[in-house]
Amino acid sequence: MKKILAIAAALALSLSAMADEGMWMLPLLQKMNIKAMKDLGCQLSASDIYKINGSSLKDAVVHFGGGCTGELISKEGLLVTNHHCGYGSIQMLSTPKANYLEDGFWAMTREQEIPVPGLTVTFLESMTDATPAMTKAYEKAIKDYKNSDNIGELAEKARQEAAKQLRDKIAQDNPGCEVDIVNFYNQNVAYIIVTKVYKDVRFVGAPPASLGKFGGETDNWMWPRHTCDFSMFRVYADKKNNPAEYSPLNVPYKAKTALKINLSGVSNRDFTMVMGYPGRTQRFQTADQLEAMMEQYGIAVKARTVRQAVMKEGMESDPAIRLQYASKYASSSNGWKKWQGEQLAFKKLGIIPRERQKEAEFTAWVGQDARRQAKYGKALSQISEGVKGQRQAYADLYTLVESVSRIAPVGFVSTFGQAYSEAASGADSLKASEKAVEAVLAQMKDYNEPLEKKIAVAMLQFYRDNARPEVYLEGLGEDFATMDFKAYVDKLFAESAFTSPEKVKTLLGKRPGDCSDDPAMKLAEAMAARWSELSAPIRASRPLIAEGSKAFTAGLMEWKKDEPSYPDANSTMRLTYGQVMSYSPKDGVIYKHYTTLKGVMEKEDPSNYEFRVPALLKGLYDNKIFGQYADADGNIPTCFITNNDITGGNSGSPVLNAKGELVGLAFDGNWESMSSDVMFEPDLQRCICVDIRYVLFIVDKFGGAGHLLNEMTIVKK
């Protein structure tokens, strides 16, 4: 009986897991997924989605700024991504007088589109399996290192050498492209990834933060949601449609593929798929690794609670400070809330015990035959030993990184040093110094001295209260255990050159080495000394963990070889398919699969910055000026949820219907499944999306930028 139950449970698990779990690799869709996708309603072929020669959907999906996803919605390079992905750029372009973050912005002509220095958009040209080539090159390289005694380091060296050779060869055949060798499945599989990186990207428009970030930190990571989380940019190219640095002579990029937009909306259980660039997951980590990770999250949460409280007080006291700190605060708080949710979900869903159970079953399977024993038998204990070797150092390092390294002048010192050494290789030292000063001045745009003094005191205090006395800072001229941080910080800010734009300018002509008496430099050096000391045991354990993880992952793949499999997210393009789906967050409660503008009005609270509703939107709502964007019930749909398997980095990803048309943008995950980076939860895990009809309603009726719709291909059925 027990056995039958176990088989039934395993079957149920694999069936429900197959329906929605998975961040699939595009070149393997044909082999692994297309049949299941079609069974769910997909009307596309694998080559409609991904092909190397000729255009396919993948040509419309881009890596936006390295950390998000965007998609082309016109042949003229217009792209849409999340508001929170454009946030840093929009903030950077804003001033208290032209506050695009607060007030929103729409370019009414191409000339009004604003270049964003430093922003890139990356197109995927191709990805091809390089595992055999890498293995061969690696085996050859490893022969040359026979006399070395550290097999882990040696393996790494050989791997890098093999990768370099392969990369150089492919790069020759693909001029104008970047070539990377990327590892999957913990070094068991390698792919050559060829991309094109466009560097002239211009801001086209966004709603005001009251809509783009409606619900603020309170609603972040939560459903039901009403955030209009989108912004638009345009990719520019040279006359030959190739990447080029910004130039007024550049022209809009001519897209190989632009997504069609479908305005007919989604119903519960409709097929959806999401393509994008998920950043990191930990689905192949062991319970020991996960425990260590939770410990690190705990430290980060504790430090950020302190720092964010100080930031928030400053932001609430002055709109100029709010603008300066908006992006920093949002990204700090996003991680802070995520990790707390993850800690809660770990407990509630029993993640660690479930992982231990899986490892026990794996070990039993390995034990069944001698060949498996030889290949995988040591893996778990290697990882365990490696984690043990790193654990204290990581806890110490996190304590340092989340406190002392966040002190502004310490950051300026490191920017100065970095910019100097980057420039120094080509230029003379005066030029390098100019560049370094420039870089610090740019960073100081978002710097408020009185607020940073408070943060500095709070962070030093945090480090004293939370670090082990063995790793207290040395070389500050006083005993860290007893020094008066307020007096120290006052003096540092008064005497250091790294504390105001005026004083930074006095660094012109200086090299980082000329500033060794500067108190901020001294603090940065005291921190760096501890940092490198703590990195040593971490580095030492890495090869052992890498070897164990490689074997463990290979073992898991062999154990489950009859099921389709996908590797951990690693910022390469993936596809996840599933359905629009409501869920039950707790006993007695069912969450619908969508929200509407009515909910925005219900949540409105003029006294709360996070829940303000612009008068213009209320007017449109009261007078039902909804144009072509209302649903069958006469409401404006705002957000919906699917069971697609996404994570950070997928933000901005296109949510596509069965025909591959754009119906929404993925922008968040939900509170009940915050452990999703580690384990997929079929019943609870949802992908939160903004409905494309809400997006276009805001562009058109609210923003008055309806002209942009002329570039798009819009279908209504």
Stretch in the footprint of ligand ARG (CB under 6 A) among 42-50, 211-219, 443-451, 577-585: 211-219
> In whole angstroms, how close is the CB of 328 to ligand ARG at the nearest point?
11
220 lies in the binding site for ligand ARG (CB under 6 A): yes
Q: Are 712 and 75 in contact (CB under 8 A)?
A: no
Which residue, 335 or 614, has its beta carbon nearer to ligand ARG? Answer: 335
Instruction: Determine if 648 is a binding residue for ligand ARG (CB under 6 A).
Output: yes
Task: Name 371's Cβ contacts closer than 8 Å, sequence gap at least 6.
Answer: none
Which residue type does 580 have?
V
CB 662 within 8 A of CB 654: yes
Establish if 523 lies at the interface with ligand ARG (CB under 6 A).
Answer: no
Closest distance of CB 334 from ligand ARG, Å? 4
- Do residues 699 and 61 lie in contact, with contact meaning Cβ atoms separated by under 8 Å? no
CB of 23 to ligand ARG, least distance (A): 15
- Give min distance, CB of 217 to ligand ARG, in A: 5
Which among 171-179, 216-224, 340-348, 437-445 is the span making contact with ligand ARG, rule CB under 6 A? 216-224
Residue pair 687/575 in contact by the 8 Å Cβ criterion: no
How many CB atoms within 10 Å of residue 12?
11
Using CA atoms, how far apart are residues 79 and 119, in angstroms rounded to an integer? Answer: 13
C-alpha to C-alpha distance for 514 and 491, rounded to whole angstroms: 20
In angstroms, what is the minimal distance from the CB of 265 to ligand ARG?
Answer: 23
* 229 flagged as catalytic: yes
Q: Could you say whether residue 50 binds ligand ARG (CB under 6 A)?
A: no
Please confirm, yes or no, whether 47 is among the known catalytic residues: no
What share of residues in the chain are helix, strand, coil (percent, to 5)?
A: 50, 15, 35
- From the candidates 59, 229, 568, 645, which is the catalytic residue? 229
Q: Which of residues 316-335 bind ligand ARG (CB under 6 A)?
A: 330, 333-334
User: Could you tell me if 703 and 106 are in contact, meaning their C-beta atoms sit under 8 angstroms apart?
Assistant: yes
What single string gives the DSSP state of each residue in 546-606?
A: HHHHHHHHHHHHHHTTTS---PPP-SS-EEEEEEB--EEEETTEEE-SEEEHHHHHHH--T
Q: Is 221 in the site for ligand ARG (CB under 6 A)?
A: yes
Q: Is 651 in the site for ligand ARG (CB under 6 A)?
A: yes
Specify the residue, 311 or 404, whose C-beta has the smaller distance to ligand ARG: 311
Q: Please pick, from the candidates 217, 238, 385, 604, the single residue that binds ligand ARG as defined by CB under 6 A.
A: 217
Would you state the structure tokens that stand for residue 691, as one six-digit string? 């409905």
By CB under 6 A, name the one of 63, 159, 196, 213 that touches ligand ARG: 213
In whole angstroms, what is the distance from residue 549 CA to residue 396 CA?
24
Region binding ligand ARG by CB under 6 A among candidate stretches 215-223, 267-275, 294-302, 700-708: 215-223
Would you count residue 307 as binding ligand ARG (CB under 6 A)? no
Closest by CA position to 692, among listed 651, 621, 639: 639
Distance CA 208, CA 703 (A): 9
Binding ligand ARG by CB under 6 A: which of 355, 668, 677, 681?
668
152 touching ligand ARG, by CB under 6 A: no
Comparing CB distances to ligand ARG, the nearer of 46 and 689 is 689
Cβ nearer to ligand ARG, comparing 337 with 701: 337
In the complex, the smallest distance separating the C-beta of residue 508 from ligand ARG, rounded to whole angstroms, is: 38
Q: Which is closer to ligand ARG, CB of 276 or CB of 648?
A: 648
216 touching ligand ARG, by CB under 6 A: yes
Q: Which is nearer to ligand ARG, 265 or 649 (CB)?
A: 649
Query: Does residue 148 have an active-site annotation?
Result: no
Choice between 220 and 250, CB closer to ligand ARG = 220
Only one of the segments 209-217, 511-519, 557-565, 693-701 lies at the binding site for ligand ARG (rule: CB under 6 A); that segment is: 209-217
Residue 506 CB, nearest approach to ligand ARG (Å): 37
Q: CB of residue 669 vs ligand ARG: minimum separation in angstroms?
A: 7
Minimum Å gap between C-beta 112 and ligand ARG is: 27
Residue type at 359?
E
Could you tell me the CA-to-CA distances from 661 to 30, 73, 189, 258, 266 in Å, in that order?
A: 20, 10, 32, 10, 12
CB of 397 or CB of 687, closer to ligand ARG: 687
Nearer residue to ligand ARG within complex by CB, 221 or 629: 221
x-marked contacts with ligand ARG along 61-100 as a string, rule CB under 6 A: -----------------------x----------------
Q: Please state, as a whole number, how many other Cβ atoms lie within 10 Å of the Cβ of residue 365.
A: 16
CA dist 307 and 402 (Å) reads 9
Query: End-to-end alpha-carbon separation of the chain, Å?
Result: 51
Helices (H), 350-475: 351-366, 370-376, 379-401, 408-424, 429-443, 449-466
Residues facing 437 on adjacent strands: none
Residue 333 CB, shortest distance to ligand ARG, in Å, is 6
Identify the DSSP state of 518. S
If the CB atoms of residues 178 and 217 are measured against ligand ARG, the closer one turns out to be 217
Distance CA 80, CA 86 (A): 10
CB closer to ligand ARG, 224 vs 417: 224
Catalytic position from the list 89, 384, 403, 651: 651
Question: Least distance to ligand ARG from the beta carbon of 693, Å?
Answer: 21
Q: Return the number of the residue (648 or 682) whose C-beta is nearest ligand ARG.
A: 648
Q: Which of 601, 604, 605 is nearest to 620 (CA)?
A: 601
Q: Determine the 3-state secondary structure of 413 from DSSP.
A: helix
Residue type, 690: V
- Count H helices, E strands: the chain? 24, 23
How many residues interact with ligand ARG (rule CB under 6 A)?
12
Biggest CA pair distance of the chain: 81
Distance of alpha carbon 417 from alpha carbon 430, whole angstroms: 14
Rounded least distance, CB 218 to ligand ARG, Å: 8
Stretch that binds ligand ARG, among 28-36, 214-222, 305-313, 496-504 (CB under 6 A): 214-222
Geometric angle at alpha carbon 180, from 179 and 181, rounded to 5°: 135
Could you give the string, one character per residue 161-200, with x where binding to ligand ARG holds by CB under 6 A and - elsewhere?
----------------------------------------
**Does 234 interact with ligand ARG (rule: CB under 6 A)?**
no
Q: Sign of dihedral through CA atoms 568, 571, 573, 577?
A: positive
- Kindly list the distances between the CA atom of residue 202 and the CA atoms of 112, 174, 234, 713, in Å, as whole numbers in the listed order: 9, 26, 5, 21
Restricted to residues 325-384, the positions that interact with ligand ARG (CB under 6 A) are 330, 333-334
Residues 6+ apart with CB under 8 A from 335: 300, 304
**C-beta closer to ligand ARG: residue 488 or 667:** 667
Pairing label, strands 714-715, 261-262: parallel
Nearest distance in Å: CB 567, ligand ARG:
21
Among residues 83, 84, 226, 593, the one annotated as catalytic is: 84
Are 667 and 227 spatial neighbours (Cβ–Cβ below 8 Å)? yes
- Which of the residues are catalytic? 84, 229, 651
Q: Which residue ranges make up the site for ligand ARG (CB under 6 A)?
A: 84, 213, 216-217, 220-221, 330, 333-334, 648, 651, 668
